[in-house]
Amino acid sequence: MASSPHRRPVPRRRTALVSAVAVVAVGLLVSLVMAFRPHDAPRTVRAAAAPAASTRQTSAGTATPTRSPKPKPSTASPTPKPTRTTPKPAKAHTASARPSPAHTTPAADARPASGAAPLAGRIKPGVTYTGVATHYDAADGNGACTYGPTSDLMIVAMNHTDYETAKACGAYISVHAGGASVTVRVTNECPECAPGALDLSEQAFAKLAALNAGRIPVTWSLLSPSTSGTISIRYKTGSSANWCGIQALGHRNPLARLEVSTGSGWRQLTRETYNYFLSESGTGCGGSLRLTDIYGEQLTVSGIAVRPDVVQATRVQFARH
């Protein structure tokens, strides 16, 4: 009896078929995953990571990452920005005709800086001026400031430039030559003298040098002297309620302004070269006056009648500086 032909076992075929189907399914799944993955994700990661590290080649030929060194902090000091300081204006002090207790006398060595006199003209406190001194016969002491005759001949004629339209009138200055010094008051003008030059009375010049010296080099500076006197007011000859000229005498510090009351405020008068303040319309003539020195101090004077060419005393004086 013939034997049956040899056959492979059926389970082996089925196993191979199942494996092939599984491989195809896995490949399809991988293709789908790759198809739906964002295309720019790898570029984004590389772009973000690129600056973080660099590479260096080792002796074995393997690239190993190296980090860029951190920048060292700067040790330079920052340059400070300049600051601007705005000075505050000094408050003016107003006084009545009666001396105020606020008018105190500071120490004798107190000297203000040039900037402490906001109304000063060419002659400023705290500044030393250099020039040449000459001398003249002062006679009775009267001069361009029209203060009138005086027995005190420690006086000086100021050069035209520093005379400054009578703004120097009444100023006290200390003059030095060598080891000698003298204090004089400005009562006159020297039109031909150069800026800084002084023309002293013979009596004042003699305190510094012999008269035959003629011309000597000097230095001089503004003073705010000690005095027990008070300021006086004089109306010019011809003054009335319709026109008047007003002059202040005996003020310790140079006078910067003279104002008259208008009833609704103050009106500043113009100073003439002969040292009178004019009210050509008569405004304020016979009324209250307000005097201001170069330091900004203000004094108010009332009760001065229009009495031409009569010196009328007040009870006020500027403070010493």
Task: List pLDDT tens digits, range 123-170.
Answer: 999 999 999 999 999 999 999 999 999 999 999 999 999 999 999 999
Residue 241 in this model has a pLDDT that exceeds 80: yes
Measure the CA–CA gap between 208 and 145, rounded to whole angstroms. Answer: 24
pTM above 0.95, yes or no: no
Paired residues of 6 in beta bridges: none
**Burial tier of 101 (Cβ tally within 10 Å: 0-12, 13-18, 19+):** exposed
**Cα gap 137→131, rounded to integer Å:** 20
pLDDT tens for 53-107 read 333 333 333 333 333 333 333 333 333 333 333 333 333 333 333 333 333 333 3
Q: How are beta strands 94-95 and 180-190 bridged, if at all?
A: unpaired
pLDDT (0 to 100) of residue 116: 84
Using alpha carbons, select from 286, 288, 319 the residue that is nearest to residue 302.
288
pLDDT at 33: 41
Q: Is the dihedral of CA 184, 188, 191, 195 positive or negative?
A: positive
CA angle 85, 91, 92 (to 5 degrees): 140
**Tokens representing 110?**
């107190």
